[in-house]
Structure formats: structure tokens, C-alpha cells
Amino acid sequence: MMRTRNRIGKTAWAPIGVVFFIFLYALTTPSNYTQTGFLFFYPLYSDYTIQCLYTTGTWIWVFLMTWLMHYAANKKFNDFGYKLLAGSSLYAYLSHYFFIIVINVSIVRPYKLEFLPALAINLILTNAVILVSYMILNFGYELAFPPKSQEKIAKEKEEEE
């Protein structure tokens, strides 16, 4: 898979593919304000056709971002930063909606914020709370199960050989 991505990424098909996927994503992004569901209704639209378009567009975006990030940004730049961002990505995926709801209920709704301030507050606070809570949980996990040092891993490999 990685060999195919790299081979395609070095040809003229790469920019054509990016434009094609952005076009598909634009077609599959519902931008209507009718037939919407309610807060805990996925994917927030009640019409089946719009649900299919929304879900397909989400998967197109995930595929495109995965391909681009693997090709452009999958390099270890800093040990701590790489460990934090790579390690917290699944936790962020699983917990982000909870933090969005908490921030909306505790800040956005009581102060009746408009869309742009609410969006900025949600983006900043959700990411901050995810990273801080992940660092706290990871600290506790590493206290209970300390990571092996590189010397210990090398010694175990030598003993196995």
C-alpha cells in the first residue's frame, strides 16, 4: 500500500487525484439547513439521500487526508510531540464529541454566542482539553506500566537471537 501511494504520489496523477477527491467531497457535502435531525442523531440529517452523501463525503475526506498526511507529514519531528500527537489521535477521535457537547452546554449556550466565536472556542478548547486529558491519562498509564528503555529492548533482542 505504501509503495503504491509513493509511486502514485510521484506522478502527474497525484494533483489530478487531489482535485478529483476535493470535487467529490464538494459534491458529497450537504450544505442545506432543512431536514436536519437533532443533537444526538447521526449524521445529523433525517433524509436518507443526504445521510448517504454526508457519510460518503466524510469517508472521502478521511481517505484523502490519510493519503496526504502519510505522504507529507508522517515523519518523526520531535520525540515528545510525535508521541503526543500520534498517541492521542485515537483518543481524540473517541472523545472529541463528548468535549464538544460539554463546551457547548457550559459556555456556548449560556452566553448565547454567535457561530464564529462559538466555533473558535470549540476548536481551541476541545483540542486543549483532549491533549491535557490525554497527557493526564497517559501519565497515569506510564506510572502503572513504565515503558521499556531502548537498552532493555536491545538486550531482550540479543537474548532471543
52 and 86 in a single domain? The answer is no
Q: pLDDT higher for 42 or 129?
A: 129
**If you count DSSP H runs as helices and E runs as strands, how many of each does the chain have, helices first?**
7, 0
7 and 82 in a single domain? The answer is no
End-to-end CA distance of the chain: 30
Q: Which three cell numbers stand for residue 101?
A: 457537547
54 and 80 in a single domain? The answer is no
What is the model's pLDDT at position 42?
Answer: 58
The pLDDT of 127-148, averaged and rounded, is 94
Mean pLDDT of the chain: 83
Give the end of a domain, one of 29, 44, 74: 74
The tally of domains found in the chain comes to: 2
Q: pLDDT higher for 71 or 154?
A: 154
88 and 66 in a single domain? The answer is no
Identify the band that residue 80 occupies on the pLDDT scale cut at 50, 70 and 90. confident
Segment 103-125, tens digit of pLDDT: 999 999 999 999 899 999 999 99
16 and 37 in a single domain? The answer is yes
Give the end of a domain, one of 74, 103, 134: 74
Q: What is the DSSP letter of 45?
A: B
90 and 117 in a single domain? The answer is yes
Segment 33-68, tens digit of pLDDT: 666 666 555 556 677 887 788 888 888 878 877 877
